[in-house]
Structure 1
């Protein structure tokens, strides 16, 4: 019912409103800018007075253009060259034999035999972290850095900020809830 009432008010006196709008004087359009027609090609040749500086041949500019040398390279070839440089640099970098690896092929990756100095595999990092966590007096940051050919600053940061095996048992709020007993 509300739609009917709204339609009645919308259509009320519609014809009178339309005639009133149509009978209003329309606004005049803005005057166009006066444009001089471009000189025709035939007229400029006959007169000889108009010179087109864009199409005119300039010996000075032509000599400058002949002295320019442009060398371009294919971006795909440039990236291939960069990849070969990186692989050659990795081969040239000092490498150390792998200290620890998981038996088998757990992640479907190629088994490594050596790694660059200053880097660790995930298994080596986990082994070093667990050794330090279980025996911090024996496995000091200095010894870990020496064993795995790492920077001492990086080793200290690794031991401080990367804690993968920390289990926290939160006590239940009620005494009737089951709780895992620490062994």
Structure 2
């Protein structure tokens, strides 16, 4: 609904835009206010400016040698330990892939393993299909254990992700054609 409001607002904003632009461009531009004349002595201001510019452009040898002697090397030991822990933990938290599509569909790289708590689409479809065909064998607990998933996530997956159900809505009138279930 907000999309329609944006369209109406854009329509009013762009209404007669070209004529309004030409009218604004053709207006006479306002003149700028005259600048205030400052009464500065010309010699005093310019000599200080020249001295400042000279001191900035000259090299200061003592400061340059001190700067060359400074060497900074920084290492964050906490970050180095964290990155090692993450790499070691990441390898331990992976499980081998259970099911995959034959070949390389859509040019995707073939996966060898998956992080624990995650599923590939093929594995999710396989688990959902198995649960739908044999719900007493493929229970929520067994699917969670088989694919190293959290029980809460598995329950949500089985409840909300249902790709295989087809609902045929009956027509409101008897004269309408209906697809017969075979």
SS at match of 1:115: strand
State the partner residue of 1:123. 122
Contact kept? 1:93, 1:116, Cα under 8 Å: no
Which of 27, 36, 46 pairs up with 2:39?
Answer: 36
- Normalized per residue, which structure has more helix? 2
Alignment pair present for 1:157 and 2:156: yes
Three-state SS of the structure 1 residue aligned to 2:106 is coil
State TM-score, norm by structure 1. 0.52
CA distance in 2, matches of 1:70, 1:54: 32
- Per-residue deviation at 1:144? 0.7
1:91-112 deviation per Cα after TM superposition (whole angstroms, max 9, x unaligned)? 6343322222233433332333
Query: Counterparts in 2 of 1:1-183, with a 5 A limit?
Result: 32-37=35-40, 39-40=42-43, 44=47, 92-183=91-182
CA displacement at 1:89 relative to structure 2:
6.6
For residue 157 of structure 1, report the CA deviation from its aligned partner. Answer: 2.0
> Aligned partners of 1:161 and 1:155: how far apart in 2?
10
Larger of the two Rg values belongs to structure: 1
C-alpha displacement of 1:30: 6.3
When normalised by structure 2's length, the TM-score is: 0.53
Give the SS at the match of 2:95: strand
Aligned length: 132
In 2: Cα distance, 1:34 partner to 1:42 partner: 15
Ranges in structure 2 where 5+ consecutive residues have no aligned partner: 1-31, 74-83
Structure 2 SS opposite 1:169: coil
The secondary structure found in structure 2 opposite 1:154 is helix
Kept after mapping to 2: 8 A contact 1:96/1:114: yes
